[in-house]
Amino acid sequence: MTLKRYFEENFKDQKLWEYNKGNVELLVELVNLVRPKKIKKTTVVDLSELIDLLKGNQNYRDGLMDCVSAHLEKKKFNKILSDAGILQNANFFYEVRRRLFAKLIPEQPEKDTLQFILNQVFFVKTDPLWIKKIPEEQIWELYSLLEFRSIYESSDEKSSLTELVFAMEVITYRICGCAMETDVIQMVPEYENYESPFLAFQRELLLISEKLIESSENFMHPDDLGYKQLIILHKQCTDYIETAFKNSSKFGISLRVNQSLLRIHQQLNRLKSLLPLLIQAEEKDADKNTIYLSYILIKYNCDKNNIDKLINESTQLLSYEITQHTANTGEHYITNSRKEYYKMFYSAAGGGFIVGLLCIIKLLLGKVEASGFGHVFLYSMNYSIGFIIIYILGFTLATKQPAMTASALVRALQEGFKHKDQDKNEYKYKEFAIFFARVFRSQFIAFVGNVIIAFPVSLLGIWLIDEVFHYNIAKEKWPVLINDLNPIYSAAIFHAAIAGVFLFLSGIIAGSIANRDKHNHIYYRIQEHPLLKLSLGKRMTKKLASLYEKKWAGIISNFWFGVFMGSTVFIGIFFGLNIDIRHITFASGNFAMGLYGADFVITEWMFFWSVLGIGLIGLVNFMVSFSLSLGLAFRSRDIPISELKQVTSAIIKYFLSKPSHFFFPPKNSSSQ
């Protein structure tokens, strides 16, 4: 249908448009006609045809004006301003569920509200985008043609400004209630002996509200002292919340407190957008503010169930705190000098030794008669206990490094962002490339240490069992052990990617536990626990608290990594999916046991594919966990992904100039 036919059918004469006056579907149809099908950056939404039709026919103009007025007159809209797009609950998962449900079955408010009309007319999420692309002069012309009244005028005792002020008061009361919660207050000890800026803002807003009621003008002047004071107090409230966010690095932060702070932050931003509507410097500002309010009402209503924005805002600070912990941990896995390089090899060799034993134990556990759950438990505990032992003894499991070192890499890049001029930027990227080379060779030597020790330990272990008990434990299982390494005829690469995801998740768990314990002051609680001090003594209790602070997050992380590794195959069996895990160090140990089980009689191709498979498994382990961690670290520090182009270019240049530095440390560490 064309616009001309639309007006001809619905607003041809007064009798027709008076009959259609209360039909909201007419507005829906009109918006559908002018709404562009695709929106590009260069798109300009031209409403000249609509304007020409309204100018050329009085019935069209009066009919549409009556239809619009009938649906906008005396409609409540304060709830859109106070609620739409703002967190309604400090529970993140509740908020996600609520928005998901609202997307499937949108909330429909009472018909006497403006939100009902907007839900019917502007229900597409791109509506605010194309409305913004309408030329300003056309917006003003439509505003004039349809004779809209400004928000400062009223047809009865109340004006639209009353709805606006009421919404601001509701937001302010909610902010004060949330800001007075103990968990929020403890994030800003700097304000402990000062009056809350939120309470001061609330009082000032009430005074302004009373002034507006008493005033005949229905607005305020820009030089009004009360309004200026309100702006100052709003800035103080914003500083308060920003300080709370910054203090998360000192005190940690929970998801609930993060959501509470984020909610206050959103409400303060909403007040910031509404405060200018209270003032009117010139007569034309009345119409300008009315158009602005109309746009933000549409925008807020369209964005109220935005889940992507919710997840991004809710998780950015938490991901920063988590990756900050992993960055601190990751620096221990990055070598610089030759001494550190060989120390990493010995540490990885220790990890390879433990994994070699774990391979043998897992093979033996497979022979235990137990239920599926029993095997899940046994395998998970085998992995978990082994990983915890590796961690406590200070050994290294190579694939645990990428999730940690990625955060350290991005933090190094972030610290270089203070340089603005081109020469310093180039220096920053070069320094980052050198740092990446250190990370890469640390990963390389850790892989080498794990693999070359896990193989002989597994081989020696299975040989000793055979010598003592005269039983080759891999005799029946060797075809599976060998074939599972084949990257062509098995899902080894896919299974290695799953292991990479688990490695990434274990890093997230470590950072999350450390952040939670910091926020809950767990270390201090243990240190000052009266019963522990009485039974262990003050000195031992302090040591226990220090040990907990240093090791607990890593222990829990390794425990869950073991559970993930041990339960994956059985979850796949339960759901009928071909999922399992492949880890380079375990692959090396399994290859040794497979060779012994086959009495070292395998084809050349089986040997070739197994060795290649081990290498590819390690590569995929590294790439998946490193990529996921790098993406999270980039996002948490708000560094644009476009930086990867310059970073990659700098790394390639450095590799071409000094390829050996990516595998072996230079003779002089200062020559990097």
pTM, two decimal places:
0.76
User: Across 460-614, where does the E strand assignment appear?
Assistant: none
Given a cut of 60, whether residue 404 has pLDDT beyond it is no
Q: What's the one-letter identity of residue 156?
A: D
User: Could you tell me if 444 and 663 are in contact, meaning their C-beta atoms sit under 8 angstroms apart?
Assistant: yes
Beta carbons within 10 angstroms of residue 339's beta carbon:
11
The backbone torsions φ and ψ at residue 220, rounded to the nearest 5 degrees and listed phi first, read -120, 160
Given a cut of 80, whether residue 296 has pLDDT beyond it is yes
* The pLDDT of residue 621: 87
Within 8 A by CB and 6+ apart from 497, the residues are 620, 624
Query: What does the pLDDT average to over 481-506?
Result: 90
Residue 76 bridge partners (DSSP): 113
Determine the Cα–Cα distance for residues 75 and 64; give it in Å rounded to an integer.
18
pLDDT tens column, 189-226: 888 878 889 999 999 999 988 888 777 777 888 888 88
Q: What pLDDT band is residue 169 in, cutting at 50, 70 and 90?
A: very high
Given a cut of 50, whether residue 59 has pLDDT beyond it is yes
User: Could you tell me if 581 and 502 are in contact, meaning their C-beta atoms sit under 8 angstroms apart?
Assistant: yes
* The pLDDT of residue 126: 87
Give one DSSP letter per residue of 10-48, joined into a string: HSSSHHHHHHTTT-HHHHHHHHHHHS-SS--TT-----H
**Two tokens at 566?**
């041990």
* The pLDDT of residue 354: 95
**Two tokens at 460?**
């020696």
Query: What does the pLDDT average to over 147-175?
Result: 82
pLDDT tens column, 335-383: 778 888 889 899 999 999 999 999 999 999 988 888 888 999 999 999 9
Q: What rounded mean pLDDT belongs to the chain?
A: 85
- For 218: left if phi > 0, alpha if psi spans -120 to 50, otherwise beta; the answer is left
3-state SS, 623-655, equals HHHHHHHHHHHHHHCCCCCCHHHHHHHHHHHHH
- Percentages (nearest 5) of helix, strand, coil residues in the chain: 75, 0, 25
Task: Please classify residue 657 by burial: count the beta carbons closer than 10 Å to its beta carbon, then call 0-12 exposed, 13-18 middle and 19+ buried.
Answer: exposed
Q: What pLDDT band is residue 417 in, cutting at 50, 70 and 90?
A: very low
pLDDT tens column, 10-54: 878 777 767 767 788 888 888 888 888 887 776 788 889 999 988
